[in-house]
Each structure stands twice: as structure tokens, then as C-alpha cells.
Amino acid sequence: MASKVGEKSISAYGEARSTVEGKPLDAETIRKMNAWFRASMYLCLGMLYLRDNPLLKEPLKLEHLKARLLGHWGSDAGQSFTWMHMNRLIKKYNLDVLFVSGPGHGAPGIISQSYLEGVYSEVYPDKGEDTEGMTKFFKQFSFPGGIGSHATPETPGSIHEGGELGYSLSHAFGTVFDNPNLITLTMVGDGESETGPLATSWHSTKFLNPINDGAVLPVLHLNGYKINNPTVLARISHDELTSLLVGYGWKPYFVEGSDLDSMHQAMAITLEQCVTEIKEHQKKARETKTPFRPRWPMIVLRTPKGWSAPREVDGHLLEGFWRAHQIPITDVRTNPAHLKVLETWMRAYKPEELFDENGTLIQELKELAPTGNSRISANPVGNGGLLRRPLHIPDFREYGFKDIDAGLTIKGGMANMAKFLRDVVAQNMNNFRLFGPDETESNKLSEVYKAGKKVWMGDYFEEDKDGGNLSPDGRVMEILSEHTCEGWLEGYILSGRHGLLNSYEPFIHVIDSMVNQHCKWIEKCLEVEWRARVSSLNILITATVWRQDHNGFTHQDPGFLDVVANKSPEVVRIYLPPDGNTLLSVMDHCLRSVNYVNVIVADKQEHIQFLDMDAAVAHCTKGLGIWDWASNDQGAEPDIVMASCGDVSTHEALAATALLREYLPQLKVRFVNVVDLFRLISAIHHPHGMSDKRWKSIFTVDKPIIFNFHSYPWLIHRLTYKRPGQHNLHVRGYKEKGNIDTPFELAMRNDTDRYSLAMAAIDLIQTLGNSAAGVREKLYNEQLAAKSEAFDNGVDPEHIRNWKWPFPKE
């Protein structure tokens, strides 16, 4: 039977060829495994096609078919095959195994396994292990009110929906960090393998410690075809593919073929070899207490796409070709001959031998599966909220800046918050990690290294002692891939832990789509009763647009907030703390929250501080509010409202307020700051929203409002749509104007600098008429002078750089 794998790329047919030889299974086991496989495939077809007559006790007729045929067949067989072989080893070695399904739309493959091992019916009693249950089980698939064709949140044991391809491995690694006993068996689609995020995520082994962490066992499924193309990895030589995987740091074992009996033997011995190696590496590292990076084992499984379908229909290839990708025979509703082909094919799996007359899987097959939580689809890691323990969080107030002189004190809020993060790390050494794409130090968070260094399982050099901050036992995860960082973090929290991603604002758009997908995942989880809530996905965005003057135009895009704001109000939160103490308060809040995507925007540089800790907590609790100390409209209606959201934006808005107060002391200016962006929305549309009544008490109904915003101005208009006095709202923000500038010049280009704001105020206050024309001109001249000085010197004038609020509080 199984022969050695060959030299060049080959199609998937024939007797098994495998790296490891041997016949560990007896004939009886093979017989049962074949039966299980047939049951799996039968269930998959049932999901794709049937709404009635589930066991084909009657001849297959049109009325048994769904009206709209949806779903994917292509990768189902390979995934079922892999899952069932792991069952054998779970029983043999008492393993703790999670399954991540990478290939797109492969849900039938894994849902069939969950149904066969009984978990599905336990979770969804109406889809019981009988004819009626199977009918419902079939009908609900890709059917209104039912479940999708990915491993959606409704899928027991799934933490990875896979609607978008590329994240299976990074998610899988996220689940095994700090989970030393877990093996996450990960099907990697060969289509998915062509995506960038997947291609780089193979390198995750350089960040996996065999002592503290579990193991990922990837099965690269050389299914051969995508929607309509061969896959790259299935069409390079055997040697090239081996080199690639070895180069990524893995030890690939090959299992290739289509003949079932020999494939069972090959897969059984190969999977067992992999599990044994994993255990040996872990044992060695744990016994010697010496972490090392082994070449972790993995499997390349080459089977025909749509394995076990008819090879040809009407003279065109089906099994083993891209035509097997989705619904394998599409016209069964209109072509009676094809309906017959389908029936014959389904009957060839012999459902009557697999399920008893009640429609229940026969006992000898049931026994192939593990029991209880050892069943893959019942693994609690797949419903990670169950395992989640709240963080030990020190009192953030203790870390606050003291003796704040509002508008005068200049400090680095990010570096200070890092001390809080350091202690969060220290107090949660096995369930909190900080993630970031090589920017943690740059983002002023390096204080955390005192509690946990950067995880590094690559080679070490002598020079690393000079401030390298690397360790196999670190708590900070850094690779220059936003995709990998985000994927790890998602896997980590979905499996019940906590974390924070820190990233430059300029390039956070790199993971727009990943964050979208995660938002959709947690939103759907809210509709799935048995899903326990997981920690929020916390994203700290820093190195913000307003301090990207020197890096230039490429580094200027604050539009991630627009992408996030498009997601459901149930799951997204956006905070822009204006200073250090509010940053602490917001961070504490986010780390305690569940089931959100929290986005925190705060610059990493030193900035003016505004609020002492009590005021900061009060301000964050309200989410927005009037800053009395910066307003002079006490007891009266203001002439104008100056509002801000974002630290640099607040600084300039405050300076504008000071200019107005200095030059036009008779003006009444109210200063408002917004921390919690969604407070601006109507309470009808967002849980954090506020009533129109409260809105009016802050923003007035008839006074001009200048709103200096961190991001693109449109978002504020959107959030305040239909607010009373909305037409009085004049939003300033980044409007895609930038170059190599000083910070002041960048603000000026976008009309967000103090002078532009103050002049705008003068223009808007109708009662001033022309009386302030002289002041306006003075402001204009000061602006020009400042710009000119910046242009000549390459640095902003001192009075801009170190501006402070000139009015004492009392």
C-alpha cells in the first residue's frame, strides 16, 4: 500500500503515498472508519441538497430538495477525514484538541463531525439523532433562519468562522499560547495559503514556547483547486513545497492519494507520528526547563477536491477538479438525469448501514468518537468565554498624574499608562498578552518589558544583551505583521484570555477587514445562547495622524474609525482620551469589558495634561462634558461652543479658546470635550448615545459649534445627524492634506490649528459683525508668522510648541 511520496507535483489519485510507512490499523478498524467517512459524506450531501427524505427511504424526488441549492462540497471530505483520524488519537492519548477549519465554506465537513459525535444534538436538541432531527439538521443548512456555510458562531467548537481567508494559523496560535496541553489541529486551505496573512503566519513558531504554550498541528490541505483555478502550492514540485515548509520552520509529513483503505493507514500513522513528536518536544522542553524551537511537525494532505464525488459527470471532470468546489451538481432540480446521478451517489454511501431505522448513528460507529468534552466540537476552548477569568487589574487611579495644573502640566500619558499595563501584565502572567507590530517601544510602552519581555524563539546573538528585551518567556508579542498580531490576539481572546493590540494609526487600515470579521463574529455570538462572552478586542492606536507630519503623507490616515463606526453599535466602542489620566481610565474600562471591539486613540508623545484623576474618571464616566475651567460662559448662554475630540485636537481647540478670550474678552466661549465618541449619537441608535435634551444642554440649539476632531470631519456629522442645531456644527479634522511639515503646518493645512479655529469662531459669531475684523487680521498675521518661522527653521516656534493655557483656574 502506502508508497513514498514522489519528486514532482502530482494529481491526488491512487493508493496512498506517505512520508511515514506502516499499517497501524486492523481491517476491522478500517472498515469502521470507512463507514464513518461515508456517514460524514452522506451528511454533507444531505446538508447541501435535502429538506426531506433524509435517509433516502423513499426514491429521491424534487420535493425532497431545497429550492435554492447553496453550500460547498470541495473541502468537506478532507476535513472530515482529518477530524475523524484525530478522534482515534484523542482516545488513545487522552488529548485536548481544538479544530480550526481554514478552507472557505467547509462547514459541512466539520458540522457533520459534530453531529456524528453527538455534540450537535446536545447543543441543539431539535436537531436530534433521529430522522426528524436529521431532517431539520439538513434543512437549516444555508437556509433562511438557519446556519451558514462557514464555521459560524452557531458551530459547536468553532472559534474561527473563516468567511475571509488567511487567518486560520494565526487564530490557531492564539488559542495555544499559554494553553500548554492544547493541540489545535488546523486545516489550512491551499487557496487560503496564497493570501498574505496566511503566508507569513507560518512563522508563528518563532513565538511559541514549548513549555508554556501548546502546539498547533497544521494540516495543509492540498485540495488542488480554488474556485476556478489550481492552487499554487499544489502545482509546485514536491521538493519545492517541502523546502518552503522546512524554510518556514516546520517538519512536513506528506499523505497523498485517494484510495480510502490505504489513505486511512497513511493518515493514521502520520498523524500519530506528529502527535508523538509534539509530545516529545514538549516533554523535553518541560523536563529540562529549556525552551527551544523544534521543527514542529505538520501534515501535507493531498486528496482530490470533492473527494468521493463522481469523477466525471457528462464527460466533464467533477471530483478532483474545481467543478467540485461549491454545489457539485447544480441542475438536479431541472435535469432528471442529474437528479438520478445524485441519488445514486448518495445511496453509494449506504446510509441504511450507517444509521438505524430511527435515523440514529449505529453504536459501533458512535464508539469511534471520544466522549464528553474530549469530543473536539465540545472542547470548552471553542467557547472560550466559559474559561475566561476576569483580569487582576490594579487600581488605575494609583497610576494617575498627580498635581495636574489643567492646561499647564506637560507629561507623557502613554509612557505613564505603560506602568499600569506593566502591572496588568505582572498580575496576569498566564492570561494577558500585549501584541504589536514592532512598535511597543516606539509607542512608549516599553515599561511593560519589566514585567514581561518580548517573546522570541528565534536565534539569540550576544548583542541582544544590550537592550534586546527578548525572552522565550516574554509576554509581549511582536512581529512586523499587523495581520499576525491581530490574528494571534483574536485567537487568544476567543479561547478565553485577554489582550491588547498596540499599533501606529497610519497602518491600522491594514487590518480593516480582519476587524470587520471579528466584529461580525462577536455580534453573531450575541444571538447564540450558549456562547459565553469573551474579552473585548482592545486596539490602542497611537503615533497618530497629527504627529505624522515628518513621516509625510503616506503616514496620514485616521480613517480606521470610519470603518469601525460602520459596524454594529452592539459591538464597537471608540474612545479618544484627551490626556494621560483619561487614558488610564479608558484603558481600565476597556480591559474589564466583554464582547466589544474597543478602539482607543491616543498619541504617544508628551502633551499638555488637563484633568486630575477624579476629574478624569468623572469625565470618562460621562463620556463628554463641558470643561468649566476652560469656559467663561458660566451662568450664561455662550456665544460659541468650542468642542474637541482627540488629544492634539483638544490642545489646538483650547489654544484657540485662549486666543479668543485674550483678544475678545467679552466673548463667552464654552469648551466641550468628547472622550466616548458614540456619546454623540442619539440614544436610539447606540447604547452609549445621549438624549437630545442632554445634547442641547451641552451644545445649545442655536449657537455656533466648532468641533475640532481627530479624524476625518465627516464622522462627526454622521454621528450628530439630526441633532438639534446640527446645522450650527462646524467640524474641523483631517482632510487629506499633508506633506513634510511641522506639526503646526500640518494642522494649518487642515484648518485645525488654533488660529484657523479662532478665526472661524469670529466668522461664525454673527453678533460680532465687523467689530472683530482687526482681531481677525491679527490672528491671520500671527498664523502666517508662525508658519513662516516653521518653514524657515524646520521646527515650530517656541510659543506654538510649548503653548500652555494662559488663564489661571480661579
Q: How far apart are alpha carbons 256 and 268 in whole angstroms?
A: 13
Least distance in Å: CB of 342 to its own copies?
18
Least distance in Å: CB of 70 to its own copies?
5
Q: Which three cell numbers stand for residue 127?
A: 436537531
Q: How far apart are alpha carbons 601 and 808 in whole angstroms?
A: 29
Angle at 495 between CA 494 and CA 496, to 5 degrees: 90
For cell 497610519, name the residue.
506
Least distance in Å: CB of 262 to its own copies?
21
DSSP 321: S
Q: How far apart are alpha carbons 324 and 318 in whole angstroms?
A: 5
Least distance in Å: CB of 269 to its own copies?
25
Least distance in Å: CB of 457 to its own copies?
9
Instruction: State residue 734 phi and psi, 5-degree precision.
Output: -70, 125
How large is the C-alpha radius of gyration of the chain? 30
Least distance in Å: CB of 73 to its own copies?
15
Task: Provide the CB-side half-sphere exposure for 770 (13 A, CA).
Answer: 0
- Contact, 472 vs 307, CB < 8 A? no
Least distance in Å: CB of 313 to its own copies?
12
Instruction: State residue 503 phi and psi, 5-degree precision.
Output: -155, 150
Least distance in Å: CB of 494 to its own copies?
15
Q: How many CB atoms lie within 10 A of CB 15?
A: 17
DSSP β-ladder status, 607-608 and 410-411:
antiparallel
DSSP β-ladder status, 729-732 and 96-101:
unpaired
Task: Please state whether 359 falls in left (phi above 0), alpha (psi between -120 and 50) or beta.
Answer: left
- Contact, 169 vs 202, CB < 8 A? yes
Cβ proximity to its own copies: between 156 and 400 the closer is 156
- Contact, 406 vs 630, CB < 8 A? yes
Least distance in Å: CB of 486 to its own copies?
11
Cβ proximity to its own copies: between 337 and 740 the closer is 740
Least distance in Å: CB of 568 to its own copies?
5
Cβ proximity to its own copies: between 26 and 462 the closer is 462
Cβ proximity to its own copies: between 437 and 578 the closer is 437
Cβ proximity to its own copies: between 526 and 683 the closer is 526
Q: How many CB atoms lie within 10 A of CB 802?
A: 10
Cβ proximity to its own copies: between 487 and 499 the closer is 487
DSSP β-ladder status, 624-626 and 669-674:
antiparallel
Cβ proximity to its own copies: between 105 and 497 the closer is 105
Strands, DSSP E only, in 558-704?
A: 572-575, 597-601, 607-608, 624-626, 640-645, 669-674
Q: How far apart are alpha carbons 771 and 769 in whole angstroms?
A: 5
Q: How far apart are alpha carbons 601 and 437 in whole angstroms?
A: 17
Q: How far apart are alpha carbons 161 and 420 in whole angstroms?
A: 34
Least distance in Å: CB of 563 to its own copies?
6
Least distance in Å: CB of 176 to its own copies?
19
Q: Which three cell numbers stand for residue 231?
A: 492552487
Q: How far apart are the first and last CA of the chain?
A: 90
Cβ proximity to its own copies: between 201 and 270 the closer is 201
Q: What separation in angstroms does the CA of 433 have from each of 424, 426, 511?
A: 9, 10, 19
Least distance in Å: CB of 800 to its own copies?
13
* Buried-state track 685-707, b at ≥16 Cβ within 10 A, e below 16: ebebbbeeeebeebbbeebbbbb
Cβ proximity to its own copies: between 629 and 714 the closer is 714
Least distance in Å: CB of 642 to its own copies?
21
Cβ proximity to its own copies: between 138 and 805 the closer is 138
CA dihedral sign, ordered 693, 694, 697, 699: negative
Cβ proximity to its own copies: between 69 and 386 the closer is 69
Cβ proximity to its own copies: between 317 and 410 the closer is 317
Q: At what angle do helices 107-116 and 76-93 cross, to 10 degrees?
A: 40
DSSP 188: E
Q: How many CB atoms lie within 10 A of CB 623?
A: 17
Q: How far apart are alpha carbons 384 and 520 in whole angstroms?
A: 17
Least distance in Å: CB of 609 to its own copies?
24
Secondary structure (H, E, C), 724-785: CCHHHEEEECCCCCCCCCCHHHHHHHCCCCHHHHHHHHHHHCHHHCCCCHHHHHHHHHHHHH
Cβ proximity to its own copies: between 125 and 144 the closer is 144
Cβ proximity to its own copies: between 385 and 437 the closer is 437
Cβ proximity to its own copies: between 438 and 692 the closer is 438
Q: How far apart are alpha carbons 222 and 193 in whole angstroms?
A: 10
Least distance in Å: CB of 796 to its own copies?
9
Cβ proximity to its own copies: between 145 and 769 the closer is 145
Cβ proximity to its own copies: between 374 and 551 the closer is 551
Cβ proximity to its own copies: between 404 and 522 the closer is 522
Sheet holding 624-626, edge to edge: 624-626, 669-674, 640-645, 705-709, 729-732
Q: Which three cell numbers stand for residue 690?
A: 445621549
Q: What is the dihedral of CA 477, 482, 485, 487, to 10 degrees?
A: -170
Least distance in Å: CB of 221 to its own copies?
14
Least distance in Å: CB of 320 to its own copies?
7
DSSP 382: G
